[in-house]
Structure 1
Amino acid sequence: MKDFLPVLKILLRFVIVYIVLVLIYQFYLNSYSAEVVDPFTRSVAEQVASFQYFLGFPTTLVDSMKLHSILFQTSGKYTTRMVEGCNVISVVVLYAAFIFAFYKGAKTFLYVLGGIFLLHILNVLRIVLLNIIFLKYPQYEKIGHDYIFPAIIYGGVVVLWLVWIQFFALKREKDA
């Protein structure tokens, strides 16, 4: 049993951090249940619209209380809609729980914050590209939305996990 103790500690830390973060996020979402979307989801939609405008795709955001989402009207055409699940927070919760499972002091917090920033940027770019595909290449809508773009965001998480494990979590401290 003593041999399994390190693994059990890692699993326990993962489960505890994951449950705590999910409960905090659910509490946050519940406090905005009467609104179209929560403020963070709205912020992501606004960032997507701004970047699309910068790229030459003027975008208007249209609230839909019926769908609890924000519709992207890109270059005069409805392309996609932003729902809470597209804001990357649920993915970040899983990412952070895994990183904290292999806790290595203060650098763990820095790595998590850096990873959250990178995942957010990756997510905004993912949504921008998805809207452009829906606008310019509608024949690739399904494969883009269902396969390629989830692979991008989850692939980013896996790369961050692997970097953490390889270069931080399993790296032995040199004797002074």
Structure 2
Amino acid sequence: MKSLFIKYKSVIKFILTFLAVYIGLSIVYKLYLNASVGSQYYPDYVTNLVAYQSEALLNTVGYNTEVVRHPDEPSMKLLVNGKYIAKIIEGCNAISVIILFISFIIAFSGKLKTTVLFLLTGSVLIYAVNLIRIVILSIGLYHYPWRSNILHTVVFPAIIYGIVFLLWMLWVNKFSNIGKKNG
């Protein structure tokens, strides 16, 4: 048994580090969500920000868009030309995806400066791609409402998780300690 631990030490270290960071950041995020109940930003600051930034982007590309507080649930209603298109909930703000991204990068750490810069750059890129994803989804739902299921459950998760996967591959192959050993 000891020989297995020695043989797979790097795998075990990766898994334990990933889980520790993921659980730690998830707890911090949950505490943030609990603390934002009743704040001036509804349903929470980041989701509120994503909703209004999505509204601004949609208005920029020529859609008359408005975001309003949902009266019955913790979400923001997205209206395009007065038509209720989608609701922006906490899960739409990409924070959970960024937590997953950060956990993986830290588990496959590289040099401290490189790791921190990649975490910041990657997180901003994921956030930006998420905004674009919401805009594309909203336009798609506006023009093709009968395609809502495939748009929301297949295409748009593929966009956000696709960018995360590409960032992970870039990190492992170019910047992590493992990528440098193999390169």
> Normalised by the size of structure 1, how large is the TM-score?
0.94
**Is 1:63 aligned to residue 60 of structure 2?**
no
Equivalent residue of 1:172, what SS? helix
**Is 1:126 aligned to residue 126 of structure 2?**
no
In structure 2, stretches of 5+ residues that fail to align are none
Equivalent residue of 2:84, what SS? strand
Structure-1 separation of matches of 2:21 and 2:148: 35
Equivalent residue of 1:62, what SS? strand
In structure 1, stretches of 5+ residues that fail to align are none
Q: Percent identity?
A: 36
Structure-2 separation of matches of 1:142 and 1:2: 47
Equivalent residue of 2:154, what SS? helix
Equivalent residue of 2:68, what SS? strand
Structure-2 separation of matches of 1:70 and 1:2: 51
Structure-1 separation of matches of 2:166 and 2:174: 12
Structure-2 separation of matches of 1:83 and 1:129: 17
Cα deviation for residue 65 of structure 1 reads: 4.0
> Normalised by the size of structure 2, how large is the TM-score?
0.90
**Is 1:19 aligned to residue 27 of structure 2?**
no
2:179 is aligned to 171
2:119 is aligned to 112
Aligned 1:30-49 pairs, distance under 5 A: 30-34=34-38, 36-49=42-55
Count of residues in Structure 1 that have an aligned counterpart in Structure 2: 173
User: What is the alpha-carbon root mean square deviation over aligned residues?
Assistant: 1.2
Structure-2 separation of matches of 1:7 and 1:138: 45
